Amino acid sequence: MGDVTLVGVFSIKVPVTDLPRSREWYERVLGYRVELEFPDDDGVVRGTGGHVRGVPGTFLALRENPRAAEGMRGSDLCSLAVADRAAIDAWAARLDELDVPHGPVVDATVGWMLPFRDPDGIELHLYSVERHGVDQSGRVGYGRAVDAAAPAG
């Protein structure tokens, strides 16, 4: 048997209702660089793929799928990593400059987090790699450490 070790996340596929609108938003807000287009049988481009500035290893794909996008509205799709609290604050200022509404910076389970939504209302998070050191284990809705060696259940 060959190596079955996972080495990362290859792609994140985001459903969208309006591909040109979402492409422009992801380019403007996250520095999305389109590298591939996916046309349908009629030659109409229904999807794009590329990379977000600062995240070279993970492919981001936008796919026109209104029903799926509407079903994802309000859900938190992924957290994009930033270095520390200062980077979270810089992103909050950048989102303000771009007129992108966002929530407040919060002390999340292990780091600082800034929530915002794409044009279809899908929530994205910026999350700091730097840990804040606050024990959130007693707070409802926050994570708590588990013993990975203990049996489940």
- CATH code of the domain containing 45: 3.30.720.120
Q: What is the pLDDT of residue 153?
A: 62
Let me know if residue 153 belongs to a domain: no
The predicted-structure confidence for 27-56, as pLDDT tens digits, reads as follows 999 999 999 999 999 999 999 999 999 888
- Residues 109-133 have a mean pLDDT of 95
Mean pLDDT is lowest, of 3-7, 20-24, 102-106, for 3-7
Q: How many domains does the chain have?
A: 2
* Structural domain for 53, as ranges: 1-72
Let me know if residue 66 belongs to a domain: yes
Cα–Cα distances in Å, from 73 out to 20, 32, 39, 139?
18, 21, 25, 26
Reading the block at residue 65, the tokens are 């799928």
Same domain assignment for residues 38 and 100: no
Let me know if residue 98 belongs to a domain: yes
Let me know if residue 152 belongs to a domain: no
Cα–Cα distances in Å, from 66 out to 37, 49, 52, 90, 109?
18, 18, 22, 32, 32
pLDDT at 152 over 80: no
pLDDT at 109 over 70: yes
Let me know if residue 149 belongs to a domain: no
